[in-house]
Amino acid sequence: MESYAAMGEGEARETVIEACRRGDRDAFRLLFEKHKDRVYSIALYFFGGDEATACDVTQAVFLKLFTRIAQFQGESEFATWLYRLTTNACVDELRRRRRFLQFGEGMEVREPRDKPSHDEALARAEAAGEVKRAVAMLRPKLRVVMLLKYFEELSYEEIAAVVGCSKGTVASRLNRGHKILARKLGHLRPSLMRAEQEG
Amino acid sequence: MFTKHVKKHLSAYAHGELTTEEAERVAGHLRACANCRAEFDQIKLGVRLAECLPSVSAPERLWEGIESALVREQSHSKQRGSQAPSHEPARARSERLFRSEKIFGARGFPSRRRSLAAFALACLALAACGALLFMRASQPSWQVARLEGAPRIDSDQIGDRGRLAVGEWLETDAASRAEIAVANIGQVEVDPNTRVRLVATRVNEHRLELARGTLHARIWAPPRLFFVNTPSAVAADLGCAYTLEVDDAGRGLLHVTAGYVALEDGARESVVPAGAACLTKPGAGPGTPFFEDAPDAYVAALARYDFAGDRAALDTLLDGARTRDTLTLWHLLSRANNTDRARVYERLAAIAPPPEGVTREGVLRLDRTMLDAWKDRLESDWTDESFPAVRRAWRKLFE
């Protein structure tokens, strides 16, 4: 483990991935620890705060990642590959669940358990709950690009590679997502502005 | 560039995704255009709101499930690589065990009498093994191919190929998939997290039980040869391809991609053509089939009518029915009470008048011949096939 710490990030990642290909369990664990929160966050917000589904999706993503890592030849960025697995797993699970939603069990939007606040402005913390609900109501295509942008901080080009569309489509989906959030949550504007001025 | 409005570039502008030149042009346009400025104000609010989403920590317990699945996968890979004993052919494994000293105990049999006893025991054991092998070999079974991960048959991991005998369970975990050859009449692909049992295989019946999970069936045999039992209905193949899912509560969803499938529970039957789906629920049996391109509100109303006893939902079903939804209305005829049945009849007749010889009175008293005659007329609207009549003739030939 110390040897990874001494390397540059890119080199360490390559070394860890290579160790994973050889079936090194410690390397698997390192890769998991490095990416689990972001994969889990995407799944959690994608499914409106449903923790059990987020856990299932996260496990499925990492199992698929570890069982297929030999196929990862580095043609694309590792992160692109990982987030493609994540978004595909979310969309697949959504398709599966949606078919059973007809029994009248609509997706319940729940509050995820947040990490302890790191000096978030009060207004932002208050807004977070409403934003979560609004994001959960976005169409899946819009939801995915919003989550990739705001959790992974991916560039438009990277999002396009993950989702398999053009940069223009990413821009268009983000535009629509932003406008929907602004329309639904316009009442939060004053408190956000106050928080920004005070911050 | 950007001589027109710049609305579609505003998120990219806010995120710094434009080139310097593009960004300058957008900025210039925004100074001059109040309309785009108002839009940019909205986009900026959307960006600020999205930035409020906090990251969340994954629960610690996640790794345990992943690690145990990894252990299973790795041990499976090793066994395949090294021809481990559990993957020896049954006969070779039995012979190897039979030869093992442990069968006789570590000390062996020093005396002649003991040797004779050992010989007799060995003969008995050999006969028993032979009988077991014969019984197993003569027991009908289907070939199973591993597609991914480590599928299990009755708790034993299979190699790249295995056999599923009558009574045995095939189980896949979150990372496994398998394909079953259904005798010589088709294939069933088994998705992850699925548990399926071979119930029967004989000339006139091949039957699986799907306890949970998802399977995709492709059958190229005459109708009613292949069946899948689920906790809430039996899917009877009428010459088709379909996906069947069962959740942990025993509820099912059938989605037909080619041909027809019948979902049955006692006297209740739903005939589901390609492009349509049908839900099933324990205690209620198969619901009413619907086309998958029906609006969500329509499908939700149907579920309320079928499973929650919400008679008011019938208004939505009648008002929102399209030509293809005669599939749903025709099935509702035999499920609705007398009052509702008359309303369903009127709506169905308005969309697709009954053929000659089919009367209102006959339909309302559920005359089977009349209902079938009307269904035969409606079927051309339910299928994209060029020759529904040929398919009907094919089915009738075998019924």
Nearest to B62 among A59, A103, A151 (CB): A59
Closest residue in chain B to residue A129, using alpha carbons only: B53
Alpha helices in chain B (DSSP H): 10-14, 20-32, 34-50, 62-82, 90-99, 112-138, 296-307, 313-319, 326-333, 338-351, 360-364, 368-382, 388-398
Contact B299, B290 (CB under 8 A): yes
Q: Which of A88, A103, A180 to mutate to test the interface with B (most CBs of B within 10 A)?
A: A103
* Contacts of A188 by beta carbon, 8 Å cutoff, 6+ apart: A123, A126, A127, A130, B49
Tokens of A52: 């059990």
- Name which of B121, B133, B175, B132 is nearest B152 in CA terms: B175
CB B194 within 8 A of CB B176: no
CATH pick for B141-287 out of 3.10.180.10, 2.60.120.1440, 3.40.50.300, 2.60.40.3880: 2.60.120.1440
ipTM for the complex shown: 0.77
Nearest-Cα distance to chain A for B30, in Å, is 16
Residues in chain A with CB shorter than 8 Å from the CB of B245 are 96, 99-100
Surface of B (55-94) touching A: CB under 8 A: 55-59, 61-63, 65-67, 69-70, 73-74
Radius of gyration, CA atoms only, chain A: 18
Tell me what pLDDT residue B73 has.
Answer: 65
Kindly list the residues from chain B whose CB atom is less than 8 angstroms away from the CB atom of residue A194: none
Q: How many CB pairs under 8 A join A and B?
A: 173
For chain A, list the domains and their CATH numbers: 1-113 (1.10.1740.10), 117-199 (1.10.10.10)
Distance from C-alpha of A78 to C-alpha of A89, rounded to nearest angstrom: 17
| Option in A135, A156, A179 nearest B12 (CB) | A156
Domain spans of chain B, in order of start: 7-47, 83-138, 141-287, 295-399
> A67 Cβ partners below 8 Å, 6+ apart?
B73, B148, B149, B175
- Closest chain B residue to the Cα of A170, Cα to Cα: B12
Q: Do A127 and B15 count as a contact with CB atoms less than 8 A apart? A: no
- Tell me if B49 and A37 make a contact (CB, 8 A cut-off): no
In angstroms, the separation between the Cα of residue A84 and the nearest Cα of chain B is 17
Q: Do A45 and B53 touch (CB under 8 A)?
A: yes
Question: What are the 10-residue block averages of pLDDT along chain A, 199 residues in total?
Answer: 52 76 82 88 86 88 85 73 87 72 45 43 67 87 90 86 90 94 88 67
A149 to B57: CB separation less than 8 angstroms, yes or no: no
Q: According to the model, what pLDDT value does residue B125 have? A: 59
Chain B, 275 to 294: residues with Cβ < 8 Å from chain A are: 277, 279, 281
Residues contacting residue B81 through CB under 8 Å, at least 6 positions apart: none
How do strand B156-157 and strand B152-153 relate by DSSP bridges?
antiparallel
pLDDT at B392: 52
CB contact under 8 A, B62 and A128: no
Sequence-separated (6 or more) residues with CB below 8 Å from residue B202:
B140
Digit-by-digit pLDDT tens for chain B (399 residues) are: 445 888 889 999 988 899 888 888 888 888 888 989 999 999 999 998 888 877 788 887 888 878 777 776 666 665 555 443 333 333 333 333 323 333 223 333 344 455 555 566 565 655 555 554 444 445 688 999 999 889 999 888 888 899 999 899 999 988 899 999 998 888 999 999 999 999 998 878 899 999 999 999 998 877 888 999 999 999 998 878 999 999 888 889 999 988 889 999 888 899 999 989 999 988 888 999 999 888 888 988 998 899 888 889 999 999 999 999 999 999 999 999 988 999 999 999 999 999 999 999 999 999 999 999 999 889 888 875 444 454 555 454 444
CB atoms A174 and B15 under 8 Å:
yes
Question: What residues are paired with B253 via a beta bridge?
Answer: B245, B279
